[in-house]
Each structure stands twice: as structure tokens, then as C-alpha cells.
């Protein structure tokens, strides 16, 4: 195993594929967030939109820093149930710093009742992604079967994307990979009680793996319970590397190459 320190210039660099740096937890903290990323060898981060009123702040972050990118989308938990305008999503996604559509998907855990509006919203995002040719960032919670069905019905495989903060079974991971999607692991994979998920992290094909923090949520061990930050994706990567018998450098090289292959529009690494 090759032990290149994340602080050394030879370290390939890690990417946090999913964070919410526009949330108020991070107001006024950008300098310390970026310094912590640097110290941990985290070179880039993808800032995820959760609703359209909040999108300008997400885009501002990606415009202010050339190692941050943005997505545009309305989270399945977002309470305003009015239909999402697909044409509006497509228009916002044309911005060169916007590299994906999302986060979108289904969440039957946090929201209940008749969720047809949530499924329609998810369909609108997939249609927008196909229209603008950008990949999808998909959130699924207690809704894996319907998520996969809608992905198939709407042709999500044409653009691909990522199943973010993955917590589902091996069968769901296999189905998503089959559809051309990537699987992103968060701090949950570092938790002691995450045995089944650790097994999935051993099995996902290396060329479909990503890592993320979902900051400010889900801080990995040994920071569990604290406010999560992109620099801590290193702990997620270390655990996934350990599970696969790989070095941190190997895992970083693979996941970072995967990130830039997937989110190729707007992320040219000049």
C-alpha cells in the first residue's frame, strides 16, 4: 500500500460530491472550511441545491471559488408542493458552473400521505436532465423501488448520475449501477452499526464509486454529532478504502476521476 499523505503534493486529491455550503451553519465560515479542505487533501466540492429560492446562494458559492460547483433542483422534502417547472430548471442548468440536476428523488420517510406530487417532481427533474444533457443527483429514502421504477420509466440512464448518501441494499446498488449510475457513500459508512452498508461499499465497482459528506449533516466518525464539513470527506474515503483493502491514495484517485468524468460539463480542471 502506498501511503501518500493528503498534505503532500503527490496526493491525488479528494472531492466531496455532495454538500450544502449555502446552509446558515456555514455563513461567514468559508475561509476555515477551505483551509480544512486543504489540510485534508480535499480539492473540490459540489454544492447541492435544495430549492429554487435558495439556488442563487448555491450558485454564488460556485462562482466565487473555482473548486466549487453547483447543482440546481428541488429536494423531495421541500414543503412547497407546487409543481416544479421543467423549463425553468433547464434554463438555470445552462449556467456553466451548474454541473447536475438535483438533488431530486423520493423520500417516503420524512414526508407521508399521497406523494404523487413528489413522484411528479422527480419525473420533471429527470426530463430536465435529459433535455439539458446533465447528470442527476438522486436522493432516495424508504422509496427505493419507486425510485428505480421512475428512473427506468423516464430514461434516467440516458444522462446517468449519482445515488447520493447511499443507504440501500446491494440489490438496489446493483440496479442503479446497471442503469449507469454511481453510488456515493457518506459518513454513515463509518458508523459502527452500518455493517450491511459496509458490505455494499466493498462491492460497488471502483469506477462507479463516489464519496461525500452531505454537510452539515452526518459527520463521520470520529466527528459524529458535530456539524459536518467538506474536509471531513477524508474520513469517509479512509473507511471505504479500508473496507476495500485499498490505500487512501488509490481510493482518492479513483473517486476523483469518477467525479470529473461524470460531471464533465463545467468542471474542466485547467
Rounded Cα distance between 104 and 127, Å, is 12
Q: How far is the CB of 213 from Zn ion (least distance, A)?
A: 10
Site for Zn ion in 218-257 (CB under 5 A): none
* Residue 78 near Zn ion by CB under 5 A: no
* Half-sphere CA count of 203, side-chain side, radius 13 A: 14
Site for Zn ion in 40-59 (CB under 5 A): 48
- Identify which of residues 190 and 215 has a Cβ nearer to Zn ion in the complex: 215
Contacts of 258 (CB under 8 A, 6+ apart): 182, 207, 208, 209, 210
* Residue 139 near Zn ion by CB under 5 A: yes
Q: How far is the CB of 20 from Zn ion (least distance, A)?
A: 6
- Identify which of residues 11 and 117 has a Cβ nearer to Zn ion in the complex: 117
- Identify which of residues 156 and 248 has a Cβ nearer to Zn ion in the complex: 156
Buried b (16+ CB within 10 A) or exposed e, 133-170: ebbbbbbbbebbebbbebbeebebeebbbbbbbbbbee
- Identify which of residues 17 and 258 has a Cβ nearer to Zn ion in the complex: 17
Region at 160 (left for phi over 0; alpha for psi -120 to 50; beta for the rest): left
- Identify which of residues 12 and 122 has a Cβ nearer to Zn ion in the complex: 122
Rounded Cα distance between 64 and 67, Å, is 9
In the bound complex, which residue of the shown chain has the CB atom lying closest to Zn ion? 139
Q: How far is the CB of 116 from Zn ion (least distance, A)?
A: 20
Binding site for Zn ion (CB under 5 A): 48, 139
Amino acid at each position: 500500500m502506498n501511503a501518500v499523505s493528503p498534505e503532500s503534493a503527490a496526493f491525488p486529491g479528494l472531492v466531496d460530491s455532495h454538500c450544502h455550503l449555502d446552509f446558515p451553519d456555514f455563513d461567514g465560515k468559508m475561509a476555515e472550511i477551505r483551509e480544512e479542505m486543504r489540510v485534508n487533501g480535499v480539492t473540490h466540492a459540489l454544492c447541492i441545491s435544495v430549492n429554487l429560492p435558495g439556488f442563487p446562494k448555491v450558485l454564488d458559492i460556485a462562482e466565487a471559488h473555482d473548486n466549487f460547483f453547483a447543482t440546481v433542483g428541488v429536494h423531495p422534502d421541500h414543503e412547497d408542493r407546487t409543481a416544479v417547472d421543467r423549463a425553468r430548471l433547464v434554463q438555470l442548468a445552462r449556467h456553466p458552473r451548474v454541473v447536475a440536476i438535483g438533488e431530486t428523488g423520493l423520500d417516503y420517510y420524512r414526508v407521508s400521505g399521497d406523494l404523487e406530487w413528489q413522484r411528479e417532481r422527480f419525473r420533471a427533474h429527470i426530463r430536465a436532465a435529459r433535455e439539458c444533457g446533465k447528470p442527476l443527483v438522486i436522493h432516495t429514502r424508504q422509496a427505493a423501488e419507486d425510485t428505480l421504477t421512475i428512473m427506468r420509466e423516464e430514461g434516467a440512464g440516458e444522462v446517468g448520475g449519482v445515488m447520493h448518501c447511499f443507504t440501500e441494499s446491494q440489490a438496489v446498488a446493483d440496479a442503479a449501477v446497471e442503469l449507469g449510475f454511481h453510488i456515493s457513500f457518506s459518513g454513515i459508512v463509518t458508523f459502527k452499526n452500518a455493517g450491511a452498508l459496509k458490505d455494499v461499499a466493498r462491492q460497488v465497482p471502483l469506477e462507479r464509486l463516489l464519496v461525500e459528506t452531505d454537510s452539515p449533516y452526518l459527520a463521520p466518525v470520529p466527528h459524529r454529532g458535530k456539524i459536518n464539513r467538506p474536509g471531513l470527506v477524508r474520513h469517509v474515503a479512509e473507511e471505504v478504502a479500508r473496507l476495500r483493502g485499498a490505500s487512501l491514495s488509490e481510493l482518492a484517485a479513483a473517486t476523483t476521476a469518477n467525479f470529473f468524468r461524470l460531471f464533465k460539463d463545467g468542471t474542466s480542471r485547467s
